[in-house]
Structure 1
């Protein structure tokens, strides 16, 4: 079984997919290999329970999709099982995850997929090929003759699963011609699996959406130039956001030694360690609003780091080793915004000269200092400032600084 990626749909690529994800049956058992027959309805409660366990494992670990499909294939006595994530089209090859007992790769191109008789099924309704076409029509179809028959596919059980986000996923199980057709008991067994497969897909989508949102929020925090260092129950560093990683790499007042966050100077370090110990032993203090802050001196002579230590509320689902217990927030009190001039122009319709002046003012310079830095006359700077006020709708320099820090600087910063 091969693993492939599909760049336009990286968040939902399951563990194992065929070389060309536009095909419904890309992996083959040994031609002519018999498939055991038997009523799927005879599955014991214990086996069915184990099967559900496999199904509900996959949202948490996408590498289990292939194993899940293979378990379903065995239970339904098939030679292939496939999950169609996207059926594909003219501009999209689609994505299909397939499993079979033999992992031999076939031709990577299937130009017959558009001819599949299973397009447009009623969602959540289990059908077989006999429900779709008379046998004579199925045998005469190009899709069967040119693709399915050479790959030892004759009997097909199919269902389209409608998920909560409006998507439709195809689930297919196939058997060779020498095997028995899918029985009423097989269809009933698949029907009982439908709600569980749907829940697993919905969980998969929800988990990955949450991960994307968490990534977005983390990116936003980094854009705001707030460093976040997460410590575990032993006070050891387990995670840093990009801003914190950059601060720690400088070793200018703060550093990591043996997985412990330390301050360079002894007095600062004693206070930092005390705040961490208190957060670890009295997490309720943070909930009561008693979070403490401190400044950490920097050997470089630049302005001190602003540091806040806060306990992370314990979560019954995060017990065990290395659970997040303390967050240390670090702010560069001297950090300046360096938004791109073009972005400032686009947001407020400023000229290049006006944008340059506004950025210098946002970085804390006075009008006179900004004029000197830009090598322009003070009267010219005042004229630019009047125009900036008019275009941005503000009347004071402090308001200008605020809107630049909250818009241009935020949008223009990069990790």
Structure 2
């Protein structure tokens, strides 16, 4: 696996942080990581805890047929890693090779009905977040034609893990702030009295609906 020139590495790190501000950039960034580590597909996902609601789902490299097949058996993904209890015991921030974590993966329905038919012989995954608020995972699929996953891929993935974690945290904070602002604005809008929020130098920063009517 080729070494990463400093300029290319810096550009990729910048792209990861750009994704925090603009989530539409994630597919392209995952594509670069795929090419760099010789993976064909990748999935970045984040689920809310405890509802299980999908907060973020980004896929790259899959054909429509592959995606449809994957979602048909997605409830069995955990089994390919040894089950939910096994997943909860796995370390955070450490790139993990699926066949090493679960040598019996071939018996899993997800593998039999999706991974094997499409040629995906192994996977590398990192738990980026796993706390009271969310569970975030980045997983890469290795096709059988591209050889086994080795220490080179694991070492390379370790370089990006801290930056991916921070990008996700920033994204969640921005999302929370946006929800907070929307809730705050909605609460002010129900008031019949005009409310104008201004800075110390009397610069208007927010007006509720009654306030906008008054200004007009």
Counterpart check, 1:172 vs 2:139: yes
Per the TM alignment, residue 182 of structure 1 is displaced from its structure 2 partner at its CA by 1.8
SS of 1:125 mapped into structure 2: coil
Distance 1:87 1:116, change over 3 A: farther
Whether the 8 Å contact between 2:80 and 2:102 is mirrored in structure 1 is no
Higher helix share: 2
Per the TM alignment, residue 242 of structure 1 is displaced from its structure 2 partner at its CA by 2.2
Question: What is the alpha-carbon distance in structure 2 between the residues aligned to residue 87 and residue 156 of structure 1?
Answer: 23
Per the TM alignment, residue 229 of structure 1 is displaced from its structure 2 partner at its CA by 8.2
Question: What is the alpha-carbon distance in structure 1 between the residues aligned to residue 106 and residue 185 of structure 2?
Answer: 55
Whether the 8 Å contact between 1:59 and 1:203 is mirrored in structure 2 is yes
1:130 corresponds, among 91, 99, 102, to 99
Whether the 8 Å contact between 1:76 and 1:173 is mirrored in structure 2 is no
Q: Please show how residues 69-88 of structure 1 align to structure 2 within 5 Å.
A: 69-86=30-47
Question: What is the alpha-carbon distance in structure 2 between the residues aligned to residue 176 and residue 99 of structure 1?
Answer: 14
Q: Which has the higher contact order (CA 8 A, sep 6+)?
A: 2
Where do 4+ consecutive residues of structure 1 move more than 6 Å?
A: none
Whether the 8 Å contact between 2:79 and 2:110 is mirrored in structure 1 is yes
Question: What is the alpha-carbon distance in structure 1 between the residues aligned to residue 4 and residue 34 of structure 2?
Answer: 13
Cα deviation, 1:317-338, whole Å, max 9, x if unaligned, reads xxxxxxxxxxxxxxxxxxxxxx
Per the TM alignment, residue 50 of structure 1 is displaced from its structure 2 partner at its CA by 0.8
Question: What is the alpha-carbon distance in structure 2 between the residues aligned to residue 207 and residue 219 of structure 1?
Answer: 18
Whether the 8 Å contact between 2:20 and 2:171 is mirrored in structure 1 is yes
SS of 2:59 mapped into structure 1: strand
Equivalences, count: 202
Distance 1:88 1:199, change over 3 A: closer
Question: What is the alpha-carbon distance in structure 1 between the residues aligned to residue 173 and residue 48 of structure 2?
Answer: 21
Larger Rg: 1
Question: What is the alpha-carbon distance in structure 2 between the residues aligned to residue 145 and residue 101 of structure 1?
Answer: 18
Distance 1:83 1:43, change over 3 A: same
Cα deviation, 1:84-113, whole Å, max 9, x if unaligned, reads 212999x85746321116565533421533
SS of 1:244 mapped into structure 2: helix
Question: What is the alpha-carbon distance in structure 1 between the residues aligned to residue 53 and residue 116 of structure 2?
Answer: 22
Cα deviation, 1:190-216, whole Å, max 9, x if unaligned, reads 111111111001000111111122222
Whether the 8 Å contact between 1:157 and 1:172 is mirrored in structure 2 is yes
Distance 1:102 1:144, change over 3 A: closer
Whether the 8 Å contact between 1:229 and 1:240 is mirrored in structure 2 is yes
> 1:212 maps to which residue?
179
2:57 corresponds, among 91, 96, 106, to 96
Per the TM alignment, residue 163 of structure 1 is displaced from its structure 2 partner at its CA by 6.0
Question: What is the alpha-carbon distance in structure 1 between the residues aligned to residue 91 and residue 148 of structure 2?
Answer: 21
User: What TM-score comes out, normalization by structure 2 length?
Assistant: 0.78
Counterpart check, 1:112 vs 2:81: no
Whether the 8 Å contact between 2:80 and 2:98 is mirrored in structure 1 is no
Structure 2: tracts of 5 or more residues without a match: none
Cα deviation, 1:46-68, whole Å, max 9, x if unaligned, reads 11111111100011112112222
Distance 1:46 1:196, change over 3 A: same
Cα deviation, 1:276-320, whole Å, max 9, x if unaligned, reads xxxxxxxxxxxxxxxxxxxxxxxxxxxxxxxxxxxxxxxxxxxxx
Q: Please show how residues 390-409 of structure 1 align to structure 2 within 5 Å.
A: none
Structure 1: tracts of 5 or more residues without a match: 1-38, 249-253, 256-415
Whether the 8 Å contact between 2:195 and 2:211 is mirrored in structure 1 is yes
Per the TM alignment, residue 130 of structure 1 is displaced from its structure 2 partner at its CA by 3.3
> 1:347 maps to which residue?
none
Question: What is the alpha-carbon distance in structure 2 between the residues aligned to residue 185 and residue 164 of structure 1?
Answer: 29
